[in-house]
Amino acid sequence: MTSQTTVRTLLILGASGDLTGRLLLPGLARLVAKGRAAGLRLVGAGSDPWTPEQWRERVHSSFAATAEAAAAEGQEALQALEKETVYHQLDVTAGGGLAALLRSLEGPVAVYFALPPKISQLACEALQPEDVPDGTRLVMEKPFGSGEESARSLNRTLVRLVPEDHIHRVDHFLGKATVLNILGLRFANNFLEPVWNRHHIEKVEIIFDEDLALEGRARYYDGAGALRDMIQSHLLQIMALMAIEPPATVGERDLRDAISAVLRASSVRAPFAASTRRARYTAGSVAGKAVPDYAREEGVDADRGTETLAEIQIGIDNWRWKDVPFVLRSGKALGAKRKEAVVTFRPVPHLPKGFTGVDSPNQLRIGFGPDTLQFDVDVNGPGDIFSLSRATLQAELSASELLPYGEVLEGVLAGDPLLSVRGDTAEDCWRIVEPVLLAWQRNDVPLEEYDAGSAGPASWPTAGRADSGS
Ligand code: NDP
Residue 412 CA to ligand 1 center (angstroms) comes to: 19
- pLDDT at 99 (0 to 100): 96
At residue 453, the pLDDT reads 97
CA of 112 to the centre of ligand 1 (A): 11
| In the predicted structure, residue 257 carries a pLDDT above the cut 80 | yes
Strands 86-89 and 41-46: parallel
Q: What Cα–Cα distance (Å) separates residue 445 from each residue in 256, 273, 440, 441, 448?
A: 33, 5, 6, 9, 9
Model confidence band, residue 470 (pLDDT cutoffs 50, 70, 90)? very low
Atom of ligand 1 nearest to the CA of 170: 44
CATH of domain 176-400+422-451: 3.30.360.10
> What does the pLDDT average to over 428-442?
97
- Tell me which residue of 34, 29, 36, 54 sits closest to 44, measured CA to CA: 54
Mean per-residue pLDDT, 11-37: 95
Q: Return the domain boundaries, the chain.
A: 9-169, 176-400+422-451
Is pLDDT of 206 > 80?
yes
Residue among 434, 460, 7, 44 at smallest CA distance from 227: 434
CB 7 within 8 A of CB 110: yes
User: CA torsion, points 165, 169, 175, 180, in degrees to nearest 10?
Assistant: -40
CA-closest candidate to residue 312, choices 209, 221, 173, 436 = 436
> At residue 356, does pLDDT exceed 90?
no
pLDDT tier at 1, thresholds 50, 70, 90: very low
pLDDT band for position 112 (50/70/90)? Answer: very high
Distance of CA 39 to the CA centre of its chain: 29
Q: Which CATH number fits domain 9-169: 3.30.200.20, 3.40.50.720, 3.40.50.150, 1.10.10.10?
A: 3.40.50.720
Q: Look at residue 225 and tell me whether its pLDDT is greater than 90.
A: yes
Residue 464 has pLDDT above 90, yes or no: no
Does residue 168 carry a catalytic annotation?
no
Which of 12, 13, 19 to mutate for ligand 1's pocket (most ligand atoms within 8 Å of CB)? 19
pLDDT tens digits, 60-99? 999 999 999 999 999 999 999 999 999 999 999 998 999 9
Q: What is the reported pLDDT for 193?
A: 93
Nearest CA to ligand 1 atom 41: 19
Whole-number mean pLDDT of the chain? 93
Of residues 260 and 370, the one with the higher pLDDT is 260
| Residues 133-143 pLDDT 10s | 999 999 999 99
Q: What is the pLDDT of residue 467?
A: 57
Counting residues of the chain whose pLDDT is more than 90, the rounded percentage is 84
Identify the residues whose C-beta falls under 6 Å from ligand 1: 13-19, 46-48, 90-93, 114-117, 119, 141-142
Catalytic residue among 166, 168, 172, 234: 234
Stretch (H or E) spanning 113: strand 109-113
pLDDT at residue number 469: 44
- Three-state DSSP at 121 gives helix
